[in-house]
A and B are shown apart, each in its own frame.
Chain A
Amino acid sequence: MKKTVFLGALTVAGLAAGVAAAGTLDDVKARGKLNCGVTTGLVGFAAPDANGEWNGFDVAVCRAVAAAVLGDPTAVEFVPTTGKTRFTALASGEIDMLARNTTWTFSRDVDLKFTFTGVNYYDGQGFLAPKALGVSSAKELDGATVCIQTGTTTELNLADFFRANNISYQPVPIETNAEAIQQYTAGACDVYTTDASGLAASRATFEAPGDHVLLPEIVSKEPLGPLVRHGDDEWADTVRWTLNALITAEELGVTSANIGEMSAAAGNNPEINRLLGTEGNLGEMLGLPADWAAKAIMASGNYGEIFEKNIGESTPIGLARGLNAQWTNGGLLYSPPFR
């Protein structure tokens, strides 16, 4: 029977053993496909449409990286991961990068040995409650039953918030967003808590979204961003600067409409020229073709376009730019310069 323990350990070890020491970029190029970890389905961020094609805000990041590295935004294998499986999937090498509204925290970065390559959405944990409940603040939730996605930072934030306010609650840990929504709509829990963006996205799928309110409290900082394995800086740079390229493109006014023209020949703005590869050799430094950033932007537009198309105010999810506006517009998005 002791063998069982060992064999089990070996299974885990087998997972760990798959990790290549370095060279994810080369692996992806050789494979001709990017394995990108996404959610199991959160409308607006990552969800397959009626044709089985993945769409969304996080999906766009995957596609941009695939376009930058492989020149083809469709060369992506989307791997749905839950809050519990995502880190194992990344650490084991099953996926090359994780773009799954994952919060950048100290322990994940340092202790779990991952590298966060930036922030693509500044979020915070909120509460969704039925209007009929008559609750106007999360501090009135004493004794409430709270649905929560297990394996996420929200679990700890929730415990901290209720402890700090000296009120009690009953947690109902749920594995996926879909199950949590089902429990919430059946009334098995009074409120549902997760990142405010996720709540807005889920509310958009309700029959009567107007019957539910987001409580005003945002109880945590949740900078969400793509991450890769620690120790492969070349690959981390690739993902980081692809994301920066999307953000810079919006700042510099490069859109999917004008990029064809702009990337054809060098213009007057040297930073745009460097970004799009018509001047300098930034692509070569990354080990990518000169037009890598142009390809990434062509995949689904610049950051602003991706935001508006997937989760912006014109979509059912209806999120305002808020903190996620460019720094020039009072937001937090601030890409280091392309130089």
Chain B
Amino acid sequence: MTTLTDPPKGAFRLSMLLNDTRYRSFTFQGIALVLLIVAVAYLANNLMTNLRELGLNISYEFLGSPAGYDINQTLIDYDSQSSNLRAAFVGILNTLLVAFLACITATFFGVIAGVLRLSNNWLVRKLMAVYVEIFRNIPVLIWIIIIFTVLTAVLPGARSYLGEDPEKDLLFGYFALTNRGIYAPAPIWNAGSGVVVAVFIASIIGVFGYRRYATNLLYSTGKLLPMGWPTLALLIVPTVLAFFIMGQPIGLDAPDPLANRFNLRGGIQIGAPLIALWFALSIYTGAFIAENVRAGIQAVSKGQTEAAAALGLRPRRIMNLVVLPQALRVIIPPLISNYLNITKNTSLAIAVGYADITATLGGITLNQTGRAIECVLLLMLFYLVISLGISALMNVYNNAMKMKER
């Protein structure tokens, strides 16, 4: 016994699968895997057998046949003769639209409410607590329906804006708030409008360039350039100049009260279902995000705030420069799951007649073709892909924000 040697590497014996802790876990995992495969195979086989007995078969041919129904909000060309597949795409785009809008506004509400919940002002703090507790403790479906009902009950009917001598005039001559939605003017792109758009994009790039230059200057020389008004000026002045130089190439297509006896025509219509769904999802999920933000801020040690204050930073700067960047590391992972929740909760759209993917493919198409299993499988695949996609994107962001170990 002179030196420490490795334990004897005896030949592998079958009994080691049970007796040796190094191999035992493999045994159990193997057994579990086999059981899982058997269970899944049994259930899948059961499904196929039952379908065959019912005389049904799995077929996706219905996707190519005409849908036969109309949809009220279509972001791509669609009519009742388009295929079921196209109807599904219309639904997918509508789902993505409302999910995207709701994610942005929910983050906005959430960050503001979360920060204000920690305010030193008693009233503000309590108001935000009430907001969070009320909204996150009532199911989102109820909120969607309440908001939609309030919208339809409170806002005037579309017909009060119509005719030669309407009860109500258009707001600023361009906007109409009705219980069917908000009508707004649509831009008309005439010749030369491309130049204006290009100038606008160029000035946005310019703004970023200027801000980066100012920050670098501050860090390297300590010289402080003004940020607020140059940004604003860079953003507005060149575009306005280009607009007038090109001879006002962008016009506005205002809603026309005279074109039709039932509805306003022209402009952009943002339907009441979209507004209700968007708003409900935003404030509901915003309440959850507010709690994440609060938790994230409180996770940053108080010493950081005090140290920043001792350096003479003002409260807003402390929040923006010291606390929030550190809090983000705590906030982002739960934020991902809130975004996923928003995306999945958009499937409640049918409650207010919004034509999302669940309403088109999983609703009308499913009903009219009777292909329930096929449609539900497609729906699951869609939500899975979207959710995994969002989570992958957010993980990239999370990796960029997380603590860099040096």
Contacts and interface: CB of A to CB of B under 8 A. Distances in A.
A230 B55 CA distance: 10
Nearest to B368: A156
A51 interface: no
B188 interface: no
A113 B69 contact: no
Interface in B47-81: 47, 50-51, 53-56, 68-72, 79-81
Interface in B238-276: 259-263, 265, 272-273
B384 interface: yes
B367 A5 contact: no
Contacts of B366: 84
B370 A156 contact: no
A305 interface: no
Interface in B73-123: 79-81
B42 to A, nearest CB: 10
A111 interface: yes
B43 A141 contact: no
Interface residues of B, number: 55
A145 interface: yes
A186 interface: yes
Interface in A1-54: 1, 3-6, 8-10, 12-13, 16-17, 19, 21
A128 to B, nearest CB: 15
Interface string A290-326: 0000000000000000000000000000000000000
Interface string A169-190: 1111111000000110011111
A159 B40 contact: no
Contacts of A3: 40
B355 A173 contact: yes
A186 B71 contact: no
Contacts, number: 153
B180 interface: yes
Contacts of B71: 171
B377 to A, nearest CB: 6
A265 interface: no
B136 interface: no
Contact of A150 (B56, B81, B152, B367): B367
Nearest to A12: B373
Nearest to A17: B50
Given A9-B377, A21-B53, A113-B55, A170 B72 contact: yes
A88 interface: yes
Contacts of B363: 84, 150-151, 173
A17 B46 contact: yes
Nearest to A188: B152
B129 interface: no
A110 B54 CA distance: 12
Interface residues of A, number: 56
A91 interface: yes
B31 interface: no
B54 A113 contact: yes
B152 A183 contact: yes
B4 interface: no
Nearest to B62: A111
Given A10-B47, A175-B351, A5 B381 contact: yes
Contacts of B70: 158-159, 162, 169, 171
Contacts of B370: 87, 107-108, 111-112
A83 interface: yes
A131 interface: no
B44 A171 contact: no
Contacts of A143: 259-263, 265
Nearest to B51: A16
B65 to A, nearest CB: 11
B375 to A, nearest CB: 10
Contacts of A182: 149
A231 B52 CA distance: 13
Given A12-B47, A173-B350, 7 more contacts: A9-B377, A155-B69, A156-B368, A173-B355, A182-B149, A187-B152, A188-B157
24 contacts: A1-B384, A6-B43, A6-B44, A8-B376, A8-B377, A9-B373, A9-B377, A16-B54, A16-B56, A108-B370, A111-B369, A113-B54, A142-B262, A143-B265, A151-B363, A169-B70, A171-B71, A172-B353, A173-B72, A173-B350, A173-B353, A173-B364, A188-B157, A188-B179
Top 6 nearest A-B pairs (CB, nearest first) are A13-B47, A187-B157, A159-B80, A143-B260, A151-B367, A144-B262
Interface of B: 40, 43-44, 46-47, 50-51, 53-56, 68-72, 79-81, 149, 152-153, 157-159, 179-180, 259-263, 265, 272-273, 350-351, 353, 355, 359, 363-364, 366-370, 372-373, 376-377, 380-381, 384, 388
